[in-house]
Structure 1
């Protein structure tokens, strides 16, 4: 038996397709002294029983790009390694059997084209021509992606492993990992049942075993195992070039195999597995076939493919796989432990993802960052609720059951709720709040008029939804009177220490070295100038800063700031989210309301914009931040949680004569679109710089202060940029913009919308997106074009702007 090395640059744990792809790509980058450890045999976990469909249609540009990389790799892997992979680029069909699903498919097709995929919309007859085994009486249309395909999972894994070995990687089967040695927060070695390997970087790709393994070292990986079944039929003349088929309205998928079909699906009542942990000896193992449970899938399939009624069944395969609470896989460096990387939770599309996921992980390991923005898959998107396995399982079962249901705009999960509640939750619920959820927090999305018989419940549609007019009322109140938003879910940190100013000055791109009482809006950049964080910093003492960021970015932003503090500086970051409620009082009447409940000077002269003050309201200490995200006079009131209800009641009582009403997050979104405020995760992110996003004014380039990303910004200012964010307003006011619609300039595809919605003051839909050109983009270039948006495969003329549409100072809307 080959002797285990005593040192390695990186150790990959897990010999499935993700681990082998990661090792392969590490070697391609030059890390040839990588070691891959598999406690049994390669593919013996879940890879060997994967169905092997490779589809690329996703709602995220970065995930689509990652899946496209997989296809490119699989196209060349057999020639490179000499091993058969079973890869066939035979295309993929997706059916629509009702009007709403057809709208969804057309929206998905628009997204695919935005991201550079070839997608064709077909009539039922054209789809039948590609897939003659099905009946299409109920089919309205179909989408066809010629570059989709299918593969043999075990063969592709073995080819990746051979490619890794050819490049110098050492692969050891039958080698169990016993422990990871950690000293003062740093990985020192991996201990196996065959010896010890010194290393500083570990990549855990252990599939459904990953959660329990990672938890031993304080790392949270939110995934659980769920039974997943598919049937393999005898040969009954199925053509070998048959495309893969997804029939979401019947919950089923199909691929050709050996003249027969593989057919499986996603039932609405999935069965969890291994609630007390996955057995260590579960290798090349399957669960007992559950014909009763699979019957609901088979009934749907028999209608679609009548030939299955007489086809023999070789096997009903029941193989558990790991799934996650939001249906996306998990990649990246764990925020809890430096140099501990994870690639797991692939939700039964690990074969499609493996090529790109391995590439991304290898880049992350070797360069400290992913090759591009992978926020939808980033391990840091999770937070406190995801440490509880029961919560994770409950939510994941819902996500699994929705795998083939309609992907509605603004859809909310209903399971594992409520979890994290503001002190005002019951008050707001009694007043008609319709809550959404983010990172476990219950947050009012909109308020129903209970006296008018409105029900606080979302009714989903691809057209305007039932809450449209209610949000319009709240929007109007923001612009004309006053509203109160409960934003308690904001993530809140304190950075404190003798070197807090110096550390934050390095991490933040704006100038935070301001006097005590100052409030600064800033980004935090990576070395390429991309925006990693977008937040506000309040200086509350010479050695203390109070930082506020978005709910969903709590883990990510804390991790970025904490790791960004230079090693020789004395500063400590503490999460104080749960200590404070946030009541955002916004609108032209807010100062008048505040003046009735506090003796503090809240005049513009006494409390100017961009300042923080401690004021008293009804005997309660309130940290007031003069800031706005809706484009009106506003104050964020940060209140210790025990005072929140008292402050809320005082404000509502005082505001009655000033038109004060409750409002929710959807009104915030509509107002911020009119005012042109950027949203991280949509309009800005790690692949977009402040210069490209029109935020250069928030970067301290005029001051001789070093900060991370400065050199990249200097290069862009000198050489120009290849994309710029612009605002688009369709000529047709009835168009529904959701984001990801394709942007055409003078008939040429130049980008897609990063966000979309409706501006009630403007009374028109509004979208934001980047206009790109490899030869360079200027403001003049953007404004000189004639634009159209592709909305559900329909071209819609629109106007373009580089300035906010709404200007409260001029009290008018710019046309």
Structure 2
């Protein structure tokens, strides 16, 4: 056995073999794959092999698309038939809301070039007469996907990997990982058969690997313990049944091709043909998480007992949809573990806190994602970045605060939400509230309806207090939901008066030490601020794209306060710490402190915000404390509001006169009461995140994870004013070499009267050519129409140019506007007393 390799892949399912195959395909000629049992012996062997395109995520859609295209080429390369039945995928809708969901999805599919068709109930019945359609609204049909044999496609990728030099070793278990400074020593043990079980032998070895990738599936919790990290990938039971041959289907097939994979999302199941019968796969409520603390040694290619009562409703709905199946008996059943994560998306990318350790865990749709995951993860490993932004799948999107109990309950929720309507404004309830600020109960008592950001409860909007029982706060919509009118009122309050926003979820770091200034100057692309001043800046990837956005406040010559997006705390912390450790020998000692939970943040904004603060500020001369002369725009001062010390920053994400008030978290309830009391005289309104999101689009403020990401440079985001080309910084050369492939724009949209864009929609030129996509969307109270931000080809980023936006399956005029269409001169932000 080889003992020195460039990359070691741990796990021989579809995902692991794809990664090994793609690393070799990318040019790494020294790759090994280890499997503790046999290839495909994990969840791969009992997977149904479906290949659904449907996904609301831009990145995941690309991953699925690559898989489907790759699998069609494997036989030509390897000589092995992967068993791909290209029968298509028919996703039916029983309600208008479900059709709205499909229309939102469809425009995402268009941005990725995924083909689809719309079908009416009559067209469905004409093509597939065994399907009952009298209660359907319609369907979306993907003609290019279908289903595949999971074992066959895995073996085909394994053969392709071997042909490219990958060594695959079976019956070896990893027992330890040790970082040696420039490589991993991976301790392994030979596994042997004993009494039907797989047990460790006395034969051991050590593999020296420059890189390690874990794709351990159901064994992710064991992997997490060996690595000393948290991996919130825990399996959930998934069962499906296979019927005896259906005589009506057998007769139909004498003259017709196979049915597509049928999905009745409102009934929570998929059905496909299987040897003259049907496979039913339900996603029912009540499916339990399993193996929270690891897979028993006795569990190999095993299954759980079937629980037919749990899927009775789904079974009866299959009979309703395919009446001929009513008299058909059951032939076989499967109930096996399928790994999930709290949001249902896999964990793909660098492991937190570790060097050259890569995770590919938590695949609930592993066969669909395997091919694309291998392709894009290989790009990350061999080139430094993938051609698509993989941040939405990064393992560090889940913070270190996550526990086993949290992951298990959220994974169960993710399972039973597979076919739940995926409203863009949905808020899933499991494990909430968990992370709350001291003012949580006060805000709740005032009608706050909370969203969930990195575990934090954050107000999305404030509902009515006069008739709370008459308002359904859970009313979701693909159009303007029940919350919309309250968000409009909040946005108007900021534009016309004053609003108070809880922004405590912001990520906050202290960077200090003798090397801090030189490090941050290299780490970010803008000039560093002087003491007491702030700058907006970006940390780039080695490929020159935007890795993170920071607001940097210089506290002293060697100490800085960094504020970044609340959803990405561990993501940013890991990036900062690894980068600082790399540069410390050059720049000197650098200390990184994550102080997110030490400080709460209130953002106060609006023309009357200074009036509210003047009423509570404690200063030798309170009349001048907040004037431009003493407290100019883009500066920071340590002030006192009543008895609360506050690090006040004169910025406003809303584009109005305002301040961010960073305060000791333990004093937040006191500060809330103080500000609320002072605000009454000025009509101050509590404001949620949805109104704030609309307001920042009126100012063309880019948001990380939307306009800013690892697939575009700051120059492509059209932010040259925040890039200092006179200095050297990480990623500068790559950024300049990339040029402008696309450009970020803001659009005002003449859309439907009952809907706004969500930031997933395709953009077209007048001649029908697709030229870009939205990354944010919403409503503008200033312009009284829909607004959006996104990327288009540079020749279309011309102010006044009219493009077409695809929304609700129609094209709407979308006019490119100037950057910061509301108050482009920033007069309101700079307003003096």
TM-score (norm 1): 0.95
Q: Could you say which residue in structure 2 is the equivalent of 1:329?
A: 346
Post-superposition offset of 1:275: 3.8
Post-superposition offset of 1:46: 0.7
Deviations 1:523-543 (A, max 9, x none): 111233211111201111111
Q: 2:652 aligns with which of 628, 638, 646?
A: 628
Post-superposition offset of 1:185: 9.3
Q: Could you say which residue in structure 2 is the equivalent of 1:408?
A: 423
Deviations 1:211-267 (A, max 9, x none): 232233222211211110111223332745321111101111022222322211100
Post-superposition offset of 1:778: 4.3
Q: Could you say which residue in structure 1 is the equivalent of 2:216?
A: 206
State which drifts further: 209-218 or 482-491.
Answer: 209-218
Distance in 2 between the 1:510 and 1:456 partners?
A: 46
- Is contact 2:177–2:226 with CA below 8 Å preserved after alignment? no
Q: Could you say which residue in structure 2 is the equivalent of 1:541?
A: 556
Distance in 2 between the 1:167 and 1:283 partners?
A: 29
Distance in 1 between the 2:301 and 2:552 partners?
A: 53
- SS for the counterpart of 1:359 is helix
- Is contact 2:389–2:709 with CA below 8 Å preserved after alignment? yes
User: Is residue 609 of structure 2 the alignment partner of residue 593 of structure 1?
Assistant: no
Structure 1 stretches lacking a partner, 5+ long = none
- Is contact 1:448–1:456 with CA below 8 Å preserved after alignment? no
- SS for the counterpart of 2:571 is helix
Counterparts of 1:486-501 in structure 2 under 5 Å?
Answer: 486-501=502-517
Q: Could you say which residue in structure 1 is the equivalent of 2:579?
A: 564
- SS for the counterpart of 1:27 is helix
State which drifts further: 250-259 or 350-359.
Answer: 250-259
- SS for the counterpart of 2:303 is coil
- Is contact 1:458–1:465 with CA below 8 Å preserved after alignment? no
Deviations 1:33-92 (A, max 9, x none): 211111110001110000001011211222111111111110110111111210122211
Q: Could you say which residue in structure 1 is the equivalent of 2:688?
A: 664
Distance in 2 between the 1:162 and 1:810 partners?
A: 61
Structure 2 stretches lacking a partner, 5+ long = 191-203, 620-624, 829-833
Post-superposition offset of 1:17: 0.5
**Distance change in 2, residues 1:307/1:426 (3 Å):** same
Post-superposition offset of 1:149: 1.7
**Distance change in 2, residues 1:265/1:480 (3 Å):** same
Distance in 1 between the 2:801 and 2:604 partners?
A: 40
- SS for the counterpart of 1:806 is coil
Q: 2:776 aligns with which of 755, 759, 765?
A: 755
Distance in 1 between the 2:434 and 2:11 partners?
A: 34
- Is contact 1:124–1:140 with CA below 8 Å preserved after alignment? yes
Q: 1:770 aligns with which of 786, 791, 794?
A: 791
- SS for the counterpart of 1:670 is helix
User: Is residue 538 of structure 2 the alignment partner of residue 516 of structure 1?
Assistant: no
User: Is residue 505 of structure 2 the alignment partner of residue 505 of structure 1?
Assistant: no
Q: Could you say which residue in structure 1 is the equivalent of 2:731?
A: 709
- SS for the counterpart of 1:804 is coil
Deviations 1:327-348 (A, max 9, x none): 111101111211111111111x
- SS for the counterpart of 2:300 is coil
Distance in 2 between the 1:677 and 1:607 partners?
A: 23
Counterparts of 1:180-259 in structure 2 under 5 Å?
Answer: 180-183=177-180, 187-193=184-190, 194-236=204-246, 237=250, 239=253, 241-259=258-276
- SS for the counterpart of 1:322 is strand
User: Is residue 578 of structure 2 the alignment partner of residue 581 of structure 1?
Assistant: no
State which drifts further: 16-25 or 259-268.
Answer: 259-268
Deviations 1:657-689 (A, max 9, x none): 122221111111111121111111112211112
- SS for the counterpart of 1:9 is strand
Distance in 2 between the 1:323 and 1:131 partners?
A: 33
User: Is residue 18 of structure 2 the alignment partner of residue 24 of structure 1?
Assistant: no
User: Is residue 508 of structure 2 the alignment partner of residue 460 of structure 1?
Assistant: no
Distance in 2 between the 1:709 and 1:318 partners?
A: 49
Distance in 2 between the 1:211 and 1:547 partners?
A: 33
Post-superposition offset of 1:735: 3.8
Q: 2:458 aligns with which of 427, 436, 443?
A: 443
- Is contact 2:185–2:206 with CA below 8 Å preserved after alignment? no
Distance in 2 between the 1:310 and 1:81 partners?
A: 42
Deviations 1:561-594 (A, max 9, x none): 2222224232121111111111111111112222
- Is contact 2:700–2:746 with CA below 8 Å preserved after alignment? no
**Distance change in 2, residues 1:66/1:133 (3 Å):** same
- Is contact 2:523–2:539 with CA below 8 Å preserved after alignment? yes
**Distance change in 2, residues 1:185/1:586 (3 Å):** farther
Q: CA RMSD in A?
A: 2.0
Q: Could you say which residue in structure 1 is the equivalent of 2:760?
A: 740
- SS for the counterpart of 1:503 is helix
Deviations 1:116-173 (A, max 9, x none): 1111101112223443331111111111111112100001101111111111111111
Q: 1:802 aligns with which of 811, 818, 824?
A: 818
User: Is residue 44 of structure 2 the alignment partner of residue 47 of structure 1?
Assistant: yes
Count of residue correspondences: 798
Q: Could you say which residue in structure 2 is the equivalent of 1:372?
A: 388
Q: Could you say which residue in structure 1 is the equivalent of 2:622?
A: none
Distance in 2 between the 1:403 and 1:641 partners?
A: 37
Distance in 1 between the 2:229 and 2:58 partners?
A: 28
Post-superposition offset of 1:430: 1.4
Distance in 2 between the 1:309 and 1:451 partners?
A: 51
Deviations 1:742-766 (A, max 9, x none): 2111132111211111112221111
Post-superposition offset of 1:788: 1.5
- SS for the counterpart of 2:388 is coil
Distance in 2 between the 1:169 and 1:281 partners?
A: 30
- Is contact 1:249–1:405 with CA below 8 Å preserved after alignment? yes
- SS for the counterpart of 2:488 is helix
Post-superposition offset of 1:811: 7.8
- Is contact 2:749–2:815 with CA below 8 Å preserved after alignment? yes
Q: Could you say which residue in structure 2 is the equivalent of 1:299?
A: 316
Deviations 1:635-667 (A, max 9, x none): 111101122222222222222212222111111
**Distance change in 2, residues 1:368/1:799 (3 Å):** closer
- Is contact 2:15–2:215 with CA below 8 Å preserved after alignment? yes
Distance in 2 between the 1:651 and 1:99 partners?
A: 44
TM-score (norm 2): 0.93
- Is contact 1:433–1:456 with CA below 8 Å preserved after alignment? no
Distance in 1 between the 2:420 and 2:83 partners?
A: 30
Q: Could you say which residue in structure 1 is the equivalent of 2:540?
A: 525
- SS for the counterpart of 1:157 is helix
Q: Could you say which residue in structure 2 is the equivalent of 1:356?
A: 372
- SS for the counterpart of 1:563 is helix
**Distance change in 2, residues 1:553/1:484 (3 Å):** same
Deviations 1:5-46 (A, max 9, x none): 111111111110000111111111122221111111000111
Post-superposition offset of 1:690: 1.6
